[in-house]
Every structure is written in structure tokens, then in C-alpha cells.
Amino acid sequence: MTLDISSAPIASDTTDHAPPGRRPRAAWAQDLSASLVVFLIAVPFSLGIALATGAPLTAGLAAAAVGGIVVGLSGGTPLQVSGPSAALTVITAGLIAQYGWQATCTITLAAGLLQLLLGARRVARTALAVSPAIVHGMLAGVGLAIAIAQLHVVLGGSPQSSALANLLALPAQLSTPHPAALAVGAVTVTVLLGWPRLGRLPGRYGEFGTRLAKVPGPLAAVAAATALAVALDLRLARVELPAWQPHGLAPDLPHGPPLAILAAVLTVTAVASVESLLSGVAVDRMSRRTGDLDRELRGQGLANMVSGLVGGLPVAGGAVRSTANVRAGARSRRSAVLHGVWVLAAALALTGGLRRIPLAALAALVLVVGLQMVSFAHIRKVHRHREFPVYLTTVVAVVLFGVLPGVALGAATAVVLALYRLTRAHVDVLAGPDGSFTVETHGPLTFTAVPRLSRALAGIPAGAEVAVVHDGSFLDHAAYETVHSWRTGHQAGGGRVSMVTRRQDDEVLDPDGTVRTGSSPGPHRCRAWTPWAGHHCIEQQEDPHGRLLDGVRVFQLHTAPLVRPELARLAREGQAPSQLFLTCADSRMVTSMITNSGPGDLFTVRNVGNLVPAPHEPGAADDSVAAAVQYAVEVLEVRSITVCGHSGCGAMKALLDGVHEQPGRPTPLARWLRNGRGSLDRLRRIPAEFTDRPAVDLTEQLCITNVVQQLDQLMANPAVERRVTEGTLRLVGMYFDFATAQAYVLDRESGRFGPVEAATPAAASVRQERDTPGRVDGFEQVPATGTTAADPARGEGGPGLAA
């Protein structure tokens, strides 16, 4: 069956995540499959969270069912899956210990109502203003507290009321472990950590392991531990599932100080909301969608109200479940809803099997989840942004004092650190070989920096030529008066002073060395090309030619002295690039930036649509690209050719719109686009795919399919065919997504495009020319006839536009 690619898909709430051209039945099948995968993860996870909080185990299943069904139907992030939250485990456990289970359900209901009101006030994005160091520190602290508590259960004991008490009691527990519980916990942890690595086994074991690893790791770990306990008839505490009974529409009110109860409601609201919204943003990025965070917050609030009424744990969006949902190929909110239905069915029909699960297995599962909440990637990122003190303070405070005091201490540390940086300025005095001086200031110059600034300026000899370079940060009145007074006195003594501002919106350095403010005459207020981001000022639009010349002047002033020796060497020795880079003429495509290359590295050919005209193409032949390819291959002797497409390509959109087939005398653009007819034909037969996600729309699928087709058409060039046959030339397919700044490389083994950081075999091909001779990335060498036959090894003819 071949579908008509000229018809645009109709977007709806249930099909907006389906790849273009997929029938609704196929989308239903994807959602059904994804829901089963998430269900198999959610059941053991929900039971483990309930165990860690001290709530009835049915409360975890109730929260998972409510989160899946209610948030799935009403949330603003369709692919997010909600349920009991690991981040709320410590909070919920403390509430149950202080107020009791039914009163905790009332607090959950109140928190849900508050979330509903906040969502109605459309303040969801305000929650994202919390420092990432505090958020990650809170999650890491909660994870450590969970792990310490559940370690007691794995050792055969019972957790204490606080993380500090658990730490103090841990040595005694380690000295008297329960052998059976420890063995079950060890099996659970071993299977959980080793399950994803089954595909790395050698030979046939690896193929079998890859198929086996499709079963969710948490399910496999709990199943293995349960089988061990049943087979050896171990005497262990097991899951107890009491008859589920909602505590009614008149739940027990918590007894205690009103302020403490209000603080509990606010804590549950804040943590559940922040986790759900951050997870929602991450899921939107993974699924390349833009969700409605306010609607998501309202959906989370409604779910917490329902969960509190029926006796469930607090609900929040979960990164583990949501990531599994996206990776399993979910297309719409149906997958989350179906997952909730399966959890509800399991709670009602599978109680006999669930009662066989040892508590030590669930505790080991939650222990691993808690440790995984301490992310070293987050630590590196926080350290890179110099916010590690905030992160560490939050982690330690959450473990020792609880979530709310820990977050408060983390926020206080963040404020102190911000004030320190606001008042901290560096002043450096650099002496030049000609007797001149440069005074460089970094950071905001406030009254606190005046003593340091005065000492630096006073040390400059009278009569010297001085350039004061400020980085454009804040300059208060005291610092301004200090600099101005010194400048007046220095100039009166025969010295020269020039004031330079490196970057600031309303005071910038122009190429002639003068300082201009926003009211000064000049072509524009933002400095030409440096930094290059955000150049959309009104003056640029009015005078683009002046903008270009200003950029050239700044290059001559700042960049030319730095690159002149390298360019002089290239002028003497001539160019010797190792690669030909063929890409689109799109202005957003900056080849040197995405390849981290410099002068002399790439021989670049750019045209509309990164097309390689095939010989004897009727009405579309063009020799300019063929000439450039021949020159690169035969004269420059490049060792690789990369064809790079990009997202949102206008040429691909024009091909889909049939611009090349419009009646009448063809325009030059229409004649040129006829070189893409082979890509359209390939799209109907064997469309290219990504390894980690579906194509966003039909245009993107044509963009990556076009890259594969152009690699094929390159083989029609005799010089290319000869070098590839000899094994001295490598062909590489690449795709760049602007929205995520992510490069994808064609994997020659799977024939799919994978992200560069995934370390696929083809990912290293841009920098290392070492591979099987005579092979083109993504498909075997075939006669160059304008199209390429499907390669069974690539699995072509599978799910896509053609079935």
C-alpha cells in the first residue's frame, strides 16, 4: 500500500503525535503497545513507593490508576505519565507518621485543589523559576533518604521515622542482616542493573539478550526475586493487599496546628507541581511538542483530588514512566489512559500474584530508584554553572532536616551566593610593552568594589596611556564617580584615557573605537556579530548593508589579528581539506559551527536542498555540483564526503508542494528542484527513519530521506565511484535539527539516523576515516541509477510511509 504524500495530515488531540502518513489504526496500536510497557513498569514501582511511605500498598496502585486515567484525559502534556512520585516519598511518609493515613489523604486532596486553582490562574511557568540546583538537590536528597530507609528493609529490618535516625541505626542493622531478605534484595538489584546490558553479550547471546531486554527491567527484577523466594520457600515479609476501600467523601481532618497543616499542603503542592512541570517540559522536548503547562497543572490537581478521595498517594508526573512511554512509541494521550486502565485491572484481578512479591524485592527496587535520583550529569552541570554550594546544601539539608527545611536552606544559600556574585568584581591591570596599561573589570562594579578599583587605578603611573575595559555589567554611582574622578585627574597630568565597554545593550564599542550609547547616532545599538545570537534589531532590518560592513570592520579589528598567521600559512601551502561538506544554502546552517572546523578544514558546496543532480536527469541536469565534487575528489583528494540536510528545509517543502511540476514554463527554481524527484520516489518506497524517535512531520522525513538519496546519486559520479571502490573515500549522511541543536548521523549498520552523542559507529565517521572499503554509510554499494534498492539488512520496507 502506497500513501499519497501530497495530502497533509489533520492534527487532533489524539493523532497529533502520530508520524505523518500513519493510519489511526497504526497509532492506536502504538499507543496500546506503549501502554503495556509503561504498565509493566508502573505496577512494581507503585507498590515500592507505597511500601516506602508506609501507606497501604493499594494506595500506590490507586494513585497510578488515577494518575494515568485522570491526568491522561485532562493534562496538557499528552505523553506524560503520572502516578505516585518518588520525590514525594519522604514527605508522604512524614505526613502519615504525624497525622495518619486518612488525614494524609485529606492533605493530598487539599493540595490537588490548590494545584487546580494555580492552574486556573495560569502561573505554571512561575514554578520553573526555581533554581535547577535547588530542584536537583531536593531530588537527590529525597533519593538518598529513600535509599537509606529502604536499605533497612533489604537487610530484613524496618526503617525509622527520619533519614537521620535511619543513618544512626544503620550500623546495628548491618551487623545483623536477614540472609533471605538480603539475598532477594541482591538478586533484584543485580537483575535491575544488568538487564539493560543483555544486548551487549557476545554472539547469539547478544541477539537473544536484545529481545529479552525489551521486557522492562523493574518487572524482570521483581519477577526474578519473587521466583527465587517461591522456589526456595523463603520466609519473608510479602506484599499485603487489603481490600480497597475509599475513605469516603467525609475524610478525616488532620489534627494539629493550622500553620503546620498549611505548610504540609503547600509542601505537597510545591513538590508535586515542580516535579510534574519539569517532567512535562522534558517530555515535550523528547517528543518535540509544545504542551500546555497550565492545563497540565490543572490535570495534576484534579488527579490529586481524586486520588485523595479514593485513598491514593499524591500524584505527580514521573520522568521514568514518561520516558518509557515516549521511547515505546506512544503517539497520543491514549497510552497514559490505557496504562491506568491496566493498573486498575491488575489491582482488582491480580491480587493473588501480587501477594507473592517479597517486600525486600520492592525495597531493593525503590533503593535503586532513589540512588538514581542522584544524577552525576546534574552534578557536573551544576558545578559548571558554579552552583554546587547550593546543590550540596540542599542535599544535606533535605537528608538531615526534611524536604521543606532543606529547600528553604538551599534557597537561602542561592540568595547569599547571588548577593556575593553581585558584589564581587575583579579588576586586572595589564602593562603593555609600549608603556601603556589596560585596566580590565569583570562583574558588576558597585560601592563594594570601589576600594579594589581605587587601589588598581592609583598604581598606574602618571602620564601613561590607559584603556579602561568594562565588561558591560552593572556600574553603580559610586563606582562611576571613582572612575570619572581618576580619569579627570589622570588626563590633567598629561595621560590619555579611553573608556571601552565590551558588551551592553545601550552602550557599545563601535569598530572605530568610540563608545556609543542608545541615544548616540549610529547604524545600530547591538554590536556587530559579537555575540551573533539575537541580531534582530530594527536598525539591522533598515540597513543590512551597513550591518554587514560593520561586521567586516569588527573582524578586521578583533578577529583578523588572531587568524592571520593561520591564513598566511594556508596562503603559502594551499588548501588541503580532508572532507567535502555538501549542505543546504539555508542561512541558519553554519557549517563551521556544527562541525567545530576552521579555515582549511572543509571544502564546502552549498545549494538549495543539498541536492546532487543525477546524470541525464531530464530537464534538471546541472554540472556545477558535479564539477565541485570532481575537483574535491580528484584534485584535493578528500577522504570523505558528507551530505548534510537540516530541519525545516524550504526546498523539501517545495518538493512536497509540487513546485517542480507546476504547469507552464518552469522557473530556474522549479528546474533545480527536479533533481529531488528521486528523493520523493524513495520517500514513497523506503523512507528513512531515526533510531530514537519518529520524524516530526512529512517534511522532516523527506529531509532525512533526501540525504540518503543524495548519497546514492553521488555514486553516479565516476570519480566518487572509483574512490569508494578503492576504499579511499567515505560517504557520510548527516542531518541537523535546528530546534534542538542536535546533529544526527546515518548509521551504516541500521540504516537509520542516530544522535551523535549516542556514539553510533557512523557518529565518529566525520572525524575518523576508518571503515570497510567500498561501503557507503547506510547501504551497500549498488549501481548508481538514481535510486537505491532496499537492503534487507537495514530492515527497509518496515514501518513508515509505505507498507
Per-residue pLDDT tens digits for 699-747: 999 999 999 999 999 988 888 999 998 889 999 999 999 988 899 999 8
Task: Return mean pLDDT, the chain.
Answer: 79
Q: Check: CB of residue 314 under 8 Å from CB of residue 111.
A: yes
3-class DSSP state of 522: coil
244 has pLDDT over 60:
no
Gyration radius (Cα) of the chain, Å: 32
Bond prior to 531 in cis (omega within 30° of 0): yes
Q: Check: CB of residue 125 under 8 Å from CB of residue 293.
A: yes
* Average pLDDT rounded to a whole number, residues 113-120: 92
661 has pLDDT over 90:
no
Percent share of the chain, pLDDT over 90:
24
Lowest mean pLDDT among 415-429, 480-494, 567-581, 683-697: 415-429
Alpha carbon distance 479, 457 (integer Å): 12
- Confidence at 314, pLDDT banded by 50, 70, 90: very high
Looking up cell 594551499, which residue turns up? 574
Helices 477-492 and 450-458, packing angle to 10 deg? 10
Percent share of the chain, pLDDT over 70:
81
Amino acid 268: pLDDT = 92
pTM: predicted TM-score of the whole model, two decimal places:
0.52
Lowest mean pLDDT among 54-68, 426-440, 512-526, 608-622: 512-526
| Cα dist from 328 to 82, 325, 457, whole Å | 16, 5, 64
Amino acid 790: pLDDT = 33
Is the model more confident about 439 or about 792?
A: 439
Which residues make Cβ contacts (< 8 Å) with residue 786, sequence separation at least 6? 614, 617, 678, 712, 713, 716
476-514 per-position pLDDT tens digit: 888 888 888 899 899 888 888 888 776 544 333 333 333
**Where are the extended beta strands (E) located within 197-350?**
315-317
* Average pLDDT rounded to a whole number, residues 69-92: 89
- Confidence at 452, pLDDT banded by 50, 70, 90: confident
Amino acid 710: pLDDT = 93
440 has pLDDT over 60:
yes
Alpha carbon distance 497, 502 (integer Å): 16
Q: What is the dihedral of CA 676, 682, 687, 688, to 10 degrees?
A: -60
* Average pLDDT rounded to a whole number, residues 376-382: 86
Q: Check: CB of residue 156 under 8 Å from CB of residue 181.
A: yes
Amino acid 507: pLDDT = 38
17 has pLDDT over 50:
no
Amino acid 534: pLDDT = 42
Lowest mean pLDDT among 282-296, 403-417, 500-514: 500-514
- Confidence at 785, pLDDT banded by 50, 70, 90: very low
Q: Check: CB of residue 608 under 8 Å from CB of residue 585.
A: yes
> Environment class of residue 470 by beta-carbon count within 10 Å: exposed (0-12), middle (13-18) or buried (19+)?
buried
For the chain, the straight-line distance linking the first and the last C-alpha, in angstroms and rounded, comes to 5
* Average pLDDT rounded to a whole number, residues 13-24: 42
Which residues make Cβ contacts (< 8 Å) with residue 741, sequence separation at least 6? none
- Confidence at 3, pLDDT banded by 50, 70, 90: very low
Q: Check: CB of residue 27 under 8 Å from CB of residue 331.
A: yes
Q: Check: CB of residue 772 under 8 Å from CB of residue 681.
A: no
- Confidence at 303, pLDDT banded by 50, 70, 90: very high
Alpha carbon distance 230, 286 (integer Å): 40
> Environment class of residue 401 by beta-carbon count within 10 Å: exposed (0-12), middle (13-18) or buried (19+)?
middle
624-659 per-position pLDDT tens digit: 898 999 999 999 999 999 999 999 999 999 999 888
Q: Could you say which DSSP state residue 791 is in?
A: P
